[in-house]
Structure 1
Amino acid sequence: MRRIYKLLLAVSVILLMTGPLAYAEFPNNPIGWGFKKGREGKPADAGKPLEQLIGKYGAVYKGDPNKKDIYLTFDNGYENGYTDQILDVLKKEKVPAAFFVTGHYLESAEDQVIRMVEDGHIVGNHSYHHPDLTKVSDEKLKEELELVRSKTQELTGQKHMSYLRPPRGVFSERTMQLARDAGYTHVFWSLAFVDWNTDQQRGWQYSYDNIMRQIHPGAILLLHTVSKDNADALEKAIQDLKKQGYTFKSLDDLMLSGVLKDPMLY
């Protein structure tokens, strides 16, 4: 009996270490992403504490500040009629992008998701139900990510999903470790502005000016596809940035650039 008891105890310890409590050692205090905006070509700056934290978990928010590369990303929570216009511009200008999608988007905008992959863009994970990931269990977090991955594969054939953008930019060390263990790299951003309020669109110039004002070498742009301003400004912004010597690259290019291996880039 004593031997059986010891065996059961050992099994219990293993289950605890591989179950939800395995990540209890990682702090779960919510952290909201933020940074000092770039100006006049100078890179955005998240500050040393945040940079050290994301570096610890292999996340990114900008590329090499010495190279005029740009990484264009979009968040897709729901379809508002402008994604095809955006995809048309990207195709015309031969610009790669990453689209971070939710479950609602996958269920309601299948044609757009299929086209993203067919056009050579990256589809990333924005969680299925868009929750605050710091407030869900380990298993629920894994489920949120897997539902997006599997549905995307079902629609497009894309088997692997490597990039995660946490809903609302809220994260913790626990959620970052969970995501990394699931094979994801957190992708934050170094250029953004209020563009998601569909009832407060201000015209293409608003979007264009915000992009051009904050742009900097290595920028990861965050735009929302629900914005008419963004859709109408995108072509001119891309063309004018190219004239300034910028090159648009994909997140895969960023990963291959060695940015994660060189802390001096931050």
Structure 2
Amino acid sequence: MLRKICVLFFISMLVFSTASCSFIKTKKPLNDEKKSVQKPSVNVKTSNNDVSKDVEDKSAESEAEDTTKGTVNNDVYSPQINTEGLDNTLYGWGMRVLPDHKTPEITSKAMNLIKKYDGIFTGDTTKKYVYLTFDEGYENGYTPKILDILKANNVKAAFFVTGPYIKEHGDLVKRMIAEGHIVGNHTVNHPSLPKISDEKVKSEITGLAEMFKSLTGKNMHYFRPPMGEYSERTLYITKSLGYKTVFWSLALADWQPLPGGPDESYNTVMNRIHPGAVILLHAVSKDDTMALDRILKDIKVQGYVFKTLDDISK
């Protein structure tokens, strides 16, 4: 009897051992399968450190791609830009005109932003150098004459153009380049930049650069904010896109007919000329065009030398 009990006990233990082994064999594949479906990703909420690192890595990869590839077909530099925390208070460019051909004064806030974001307000104020620039929002029929006058006086200028100008007057843009002038970026549609989003600011600037490169094969290096309106945020974006923002230290209300005609244009420029002056004229002005030859000749008579924006950047 005792022997039968021992045999039965041995058989039951053998069966239990086999069942246990079978359970372990089937359990391991289940564990492996579970591992595969629980692979962490950025979309799964894990620890803060894991998520931050993953996002940071992807961000770095993305930025590297933008830097090397540029924008499609034109190689226009378009980096990722983060303006979080930057002031977007809208400022309009302005200055206090001083007598006796002294450098105009701007606010300390404007001066600090100019220095911080490598902007241009004047050139070398220790020498009698001047820098001539034109804004070209649209063509009013005077640019060919302006180019003729510049050529006759051996003066190089900078022309800040918009999208419609490049589209409709590519022949004049090509002539500017051929005759040694600088062509600068004035955005595609001439909006107030502080009033639009980061992406829109970027597209206004890079879009114009793409149009220019398609036309001329060249890149742009200088930018003038439409209407002279800017903020710290927009100056940061402009610099991040590789531009120097160009303001001015001498200008007049010449986008409309001047009450005093060409004489007012001439007298205003000559009375306000100063060492390092960045002169802004609008190429749509008949008065400026009629006065331009006399302005250029008499500025030279006073001992000034015309330089370019490239000379400021050296």
TM-score of the two chains, using structure 2 as the length reference: 0.76
Deviates more, 1:2-11 or 1:85-94: 2-11
- Deviation at 1:236? 0.4
SS of residue paired to 2:253: coil
Which position in structure 2 is the counterpart of 1:208? 266
- Deviation at 1:12? 4.5
> Which of 195, 212, 233 is matched with 2:254 structurally?
195
> Taking structure 1 as reference, are residues 205 and 161 closer, same or farther at Cα in structure 2, changes over 3 Å only?
same
1:232 maps onto 2:269 in alignment: no
SS of residue paired to 1:71: strand
C-alpha contact 2:177 2:183 (8 A) present in aligned 1: yes
Amino acid at match of 2:213: Q
SS of residue paired to 1:22: coil
Paired with 1:43 and 1:9, the residues of 2 have a C-alpha distance of 50
Which position in structure 2 is the counterpart of 1:85? 145
C-alpha contact 1:70 1:246 (8 A) present in aligned 2: yes
C-alpha contact 1:125 1:164 (8 A) present in aligned 2: yes
> Taking structure 1 as reference, are residues 165 and 236 closer, same or farther at Cα in structure 2, changes over 3 Å only?
same
> Which of 230, 237, 241 is matched with 1:171 structurally?
230
> Taking structure 1 as reference, are residues 106 and 201 closer, same or farther at Cα in structure 2, changes over 3 Å only?
farther
Which position in structure 1 is the counterpart of 2:281? 223
C-alpha contact 2:139 2:284 (8 A) present in aligned 1: yes
Equivalent residues in 2 for 1:50-65, closer than 5 Å: 50-65=110-125
C-alpha contact 1:99 1:122 (8 A) present in aligned 2: yes
1:3 maps onto 2:40 in alignment: yes
- Deviation at 1:242? 0.4
SS of residue paired to 2:306: strand
Paired with 2:254 and 2:178, the residues of 1 have a C-alpha distance of 27
SS of residue paired to 1:216: coil
Amino acid at match of 1:205: D
- Deviation at 1:48? 2.1
1:157 maps onto 2:194 in alignment: no
Amino acid at match of 1:242: K
Deviations 1:143-171 (A, max 9, x none): 1111111111222222x211100001011
> Taking structure 1 as reference, are residues 118 and 21 closer, same or farther at Cα in structure 2, changes over 3 Å only?
closer
TM-score of the two chains, using structure 1 as the length reference: 0.89
SS of residue paired to 2:280: strand
Deviations 1:148-201 (A, max 9, x none): 11111222222x211100001011111111110100010000000100015x56
Deviations 1:84-135 (A, max 9, x none): 1110011111101000001111112111111110111000000100011112
Which position in structure 1 is the counterpart of 2:25? none
- Deviation at 1:246? 0.2
Paired with 2:298 and 2:201, the residues of 1 have a C-alpha distance of 40
Paired with 2:265 and 2:276, the residues of 1 have a C-alpha distance of 19
> Taking structure 1 as reference, are residues 203 and 76 closer, same or farther at Cα in structure 2, changes over 3 Å only?
same
Which position in structure 1 is the counterpart of 2:158? 98
SS of residue paired to 1:81: coil
SS of residue paired to 2:110: helix
Count of residue correspondences: 254
Report % sequence identity: 44
Deviations 1:54-94 (A, max 9, x none): 11111010012210000000000000000011100111111
SS of residue paired to 2:40: helix
Stretches of structure 1 that go unaligned for 5 or more consecutive residues are: 257-266
Paired with 1:90 and 1:221, the residues of 2 have a C-alpha distance of 14
Once superposed, what is the RMSD of the aligned Cα atoms? Answer: 2.1
Which position in structure 2 is the counterpart of 1:261? none
Deviates more, 1:29-38 or 1:91-100: 29-38
Paired with 2:234 and 2:80, the residues of 1 have a C-alpha distance of 12
C-alpha contact 1:195 1:227 (8 A) present in aligned 2: yes
Which position in structure 1 is the counterpart of 2:303? 245
Deviations 1:180-233 (A, max 9, x none): 0100010000000100015x5642111001100110000000000000001011
> Taking structure 1 as reference, are residues 111 and 38 closer, same or farther at Cα in structure 2, changes over 3 Å only?
farther
SS of residue paired to 1:3: coil
